[in-house]
């Protein structure tokens, strides 16, 4: 429908009041929008979708993914009975059985009830090598900010007078049983402009936090600072560093004589394992007469490198079709996870007296993905591998390099795949770049199509099984499409760099090219094509809505960035300026304003139905983005849907009940709109 009406021009913002997260007036506005959306979308099908998704999330036979810590496999588990979850552990022998016996370490539901707090599990750091103490992090309502409490794994109790921190975006890590590294809100000047720790201290047991000794300081304009202790016997080292920008770092080794810089490019990632130093390049690096390509992984002897030697071995070099997605050390080997046109290839590399050898690592089938989810680099060559695809439920494999591979667990199938197919195609973007995308074709050739994308921060979208999506979309006759646009990491750092800052529109052109290609191939029509994205993908959704409205019949923007004039002033926004630019720099604002969704929604345009979703407790991407965009569109006479979960953090949900609700309401909107 076409609308006419006025709007505030220029950079004036009549909706700043909606940035006041918990202000009563702002929350009244939120609750009114929530009530409108719920009343409109609630109904029999919505209830069925929500129940089906909740069943997937709570399924007792889904895989309890473990992390090895010494002799035990640890797992965090949520289901219908344990809404907030159980932190628990078992042995490998027990894990192999159909119904393992778990030792419950912490019942978060019971803790929340006992303390009358809305606790959400945020992880734990367990002390090596005895694994008898842990630093547990708990969040109120799912926020990034957490409280930290020391936990005794022998008694199953929090340690009285142990290491404890109040709510903050802290960084903590063990040095030994009586010392930890801590970065937190120590008071004025201790945080960066992004809201993360700037000052790192060494804190001794039994002393007040105020007496902790500063070991490193970053700069106020940095993203964050950090410290890490490597407890590997014979290779004990301490590292400190700073992230000046999101993709850059300076790392130092703490030595008796002071800090020694690991002299690699600022945008490279360095990693030490025993005698080895790995350097993963984001840009070309010339050393002596040799230039090493962006995306390459290099190896050197750690001590020799620190002493000035530059003997480097290339372990991986990308080409036009391949990139390195990640790597994992075992005790004696290095596993490389590579992508070849977004399909997984695994290799095991072994250092020896005559150099490095390599061999294929089994477990990565066609049009599926395989991810190393855990290794035991201190003690063994064990690895855990998760294999799944769009139509293939996950299988958890366990192997040891050079040995047999066993299937530990098999996830259930949550939807019928008969008649469904998976294909990969390539669309041609405006500048001629070939952009890959996957199509999971539904059984109904005239059914709706949902196109998903992200395109940022060098994050790759690889094939994976999603039971909730299968039930709520594929089983309803829908087709599901994932676009591997620039800005992501599917083809390495160059693929990401191609859509940075002033080049960000390349990502949007790629996504639009995929949308057009789907129509050209007869997969769908614009009126039956919906798109969805969250966080950076929520910005993508906002741009599709305002720049390419004719390509879509519906747009879903979740926990989004939408106001590019003020994003750097809100919560963690300043940390992302390396990705998009600095709005306070006139040269950067000159291009940002061209695609900032909040500044490019106008009256008198034809926009597809839009749905904005966020969370009050999201302390990473400010809920004001979605609030203000919805309010501005309503002012102009449009009728976007809006829903804000009062809990949930950046994931927009704190438990399975909320996750099921938030997913179901999106699918109900899409099914109604694209019918």
CB 273 within 8 A of CB 300: no
Percent of the chain whose predicted confidence (pLDDT) is above 90: 88
Q: Coil, strand or helix: which one is 458?
A: coil
Q: What is the pTM of this model?
A: 0.88
Structure-token pair, residue 367: 């049009």
- Rounded to an integer, the average pLDDT of 452-479 is 95
Taking the C-alpha atoms of residue 386 and residue 407, their distance in angstroms, rounded to an integer, is 10
Does the annotation count 650 as an active-site position? yes
Phi, psi of 605 (to 5 degrees): -110, 160
Instruction: Kindly list the distances between the CA atom of residue 181 and the CA atoms of 123, 227, 237, 248, 310, in Å, as whole numbers in the listed order.
Output: 17, 6, 13, 22, 31
Catalytically annotated residue among 224, 229, 650, 663? 650
Taking the C-alpha atoms of residue 179 and residue 212, their distance in angstroms, rounded to an integer, is 10
Residue-range domains of the chain with CATH: 16-54+414-673 (3.40.50.1820)
- Tens of pLDDT, residues 589-600: 999 999 999 999
Instruction: Answer with the residue of higher pLDDT: 191 or 2.
Output: 191
Does the annotation count 535 as an active-site position? yes
Other beta carbons within 10 Å of 306 = 17
Catalytically annotated residue among 369, 535, 557, 663? 535
- Rounded to an integer, the average pLDDT of 175-179 is 98
Taking the C-alpha atoms of residue 19 and residue 387, their distance in angstroms, rounded to an integer, is 42
- Tens of pLDDT, residues 79-97: 889 999 999 999 999 999 9
CB 665 within 8 A of CB 157: no
Instruction: Answer with the residue of higher pLDDT: 59 or 499.
Output: 499
- Tens of pLDDT, residues 137-171: 999 888 889 999 999 999 999 999 999 999 999 99
Whether the pLDDT of residue 454 is over 90: the answer is: yes
Mean pLDDT over the full length of the chain: 94
pLDDT at 443 (0 to 100): 85
CB 316 within 8 A of CB 289: no
Alpha helices in 3-88 (DSSP H): 24-41, 44-58
């Amino acid at each position: 429908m076409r609308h006419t009406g006025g709007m505030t021009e220029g950079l004036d913002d009549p909706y700043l009041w909606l940035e006041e997260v918990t202000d009563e007036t702002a929350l009244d506005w939120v609750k009114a929008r929530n009530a409108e959306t719920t009343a409109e979308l609630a109904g029999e099908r919505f209830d069925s979708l929500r129940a089906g998704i909740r069943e997937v999330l709570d399924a007792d036979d889904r895989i309890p993914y473990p992390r090895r810590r010494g002799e035990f496999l640890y797992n965090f588990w949520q289901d219908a009975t344990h809404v907030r979850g159980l932190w628990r552990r078992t042995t490998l022998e027990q894990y192999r059985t159909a119904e393992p016996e778990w030792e419950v370490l912490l019942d978060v539901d019971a803790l929340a009830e006992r303390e009358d707090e809305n606790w959400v599990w945020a992880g734990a750091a367990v002390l090596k090598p005895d694994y008898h103490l842990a630093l547990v992090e708990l969040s109120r309502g799912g926020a990034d900010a957490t409280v930290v409490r020391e936990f005794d794994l022998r008694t199953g109790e929090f340690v009285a007078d142990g290491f404890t921190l109040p709510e903050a975006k802290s960084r903590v890590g063990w040095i030994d049983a009586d010392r930890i590294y801590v970065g937190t809100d120590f008071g004025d000047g201790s945080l960066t402009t992004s809201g993360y720790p700037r000052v790192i201290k060494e804190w001794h047991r039994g002393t007040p936090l105020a007496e902790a000794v500063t070991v490193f300081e970053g700069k106020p304009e940095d993203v964050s600072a950090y410290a890490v202790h490597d407890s590997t016997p014979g290779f004990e080292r301490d590292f400190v560093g700073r992230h000046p920008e999101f993709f850059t770092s300076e790392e130092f080794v703490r030595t008796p004589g002071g800090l020694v810089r690991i002299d690699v490019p600022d945008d490279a990632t360095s990693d030490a394992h025993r005698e080895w130093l790995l350097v993963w390049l984001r840009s070309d690096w010339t050393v002596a007469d040799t230039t090493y390509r962006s995306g390459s992984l290099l190896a050197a002897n750690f001590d020799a490198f620190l002493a000035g030697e530059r003997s480097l071995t290339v372990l991986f070099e990308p080409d036009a079709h391949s990139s390195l997605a990640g790597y994992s050390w075992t005790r004696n080997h290095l596993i490389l996870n590579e992508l070849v046109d977004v399909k997984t290839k695994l290799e095991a590399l072994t250092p020896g007296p005559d150099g490095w050898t390599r061999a294929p690592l089994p477990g990565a089938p066609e049009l599926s993905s395989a991810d190393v989810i855990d290794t035991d680099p201190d003690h063994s060559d064990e690895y855990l591998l998760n294999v799944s695809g769009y139509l293939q439920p996950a299988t958890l494999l366990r192997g040891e390099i050079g040995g047999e591979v066993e299937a530990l667990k098999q996830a259930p199938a949550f939807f019928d795949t008969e008649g469904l197919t998976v294909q990969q195609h390539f669309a041609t973007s405006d500048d001629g770049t070939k952009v890959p995308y996957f199509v999971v074709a539904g059984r109904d050739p005239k059914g709706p199509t949902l196109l998903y994308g992200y395109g940022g921060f060098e994050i790759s979208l690889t094939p994976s099984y999603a039971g909730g999506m299968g039930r709520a979309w594929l089983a309803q006759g829908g087709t599901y499409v994932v676009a591997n646009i620039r800005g992501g990491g599917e083809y390495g750092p160059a693929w990401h760099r191609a859509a940075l800052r002033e080049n960000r529109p390349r990502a949007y052109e790629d996504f639009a090219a995929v949308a057009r290609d789907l129509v050209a191939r007869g997969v769908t029509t614009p009126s039956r094509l919906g798109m969805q994205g969250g966080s950076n993908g929520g910005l993508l959704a906002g741009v599709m809505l305002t720049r390419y409205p004719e390509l879509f019949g519906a747009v879903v923007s979740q926990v989004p960035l939408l106001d590019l004039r003020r994003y750097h002033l809100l919560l963690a926004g300043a940390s992302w300026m390396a990705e998009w630019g600095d709005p306070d720099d006139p040269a950067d604002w000159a291009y940002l304003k061209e695609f900032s969704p909040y500044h490019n929604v106008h009256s008198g345009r034809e926009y597809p139905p839009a749905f904005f979703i966020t969370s009050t407790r999201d302390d990473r991407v400010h809920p004001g983005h979605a609030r203000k965009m919805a309010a501005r569109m309503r002012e102009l006479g449009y009728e976007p849907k809006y829903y804000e979960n009062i809990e949930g953090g950046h994931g927009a949900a704190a438990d399975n009940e909320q996750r099921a609700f938030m997913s179901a309401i999106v699918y109900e909107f899409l099914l109604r709109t694209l019918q």
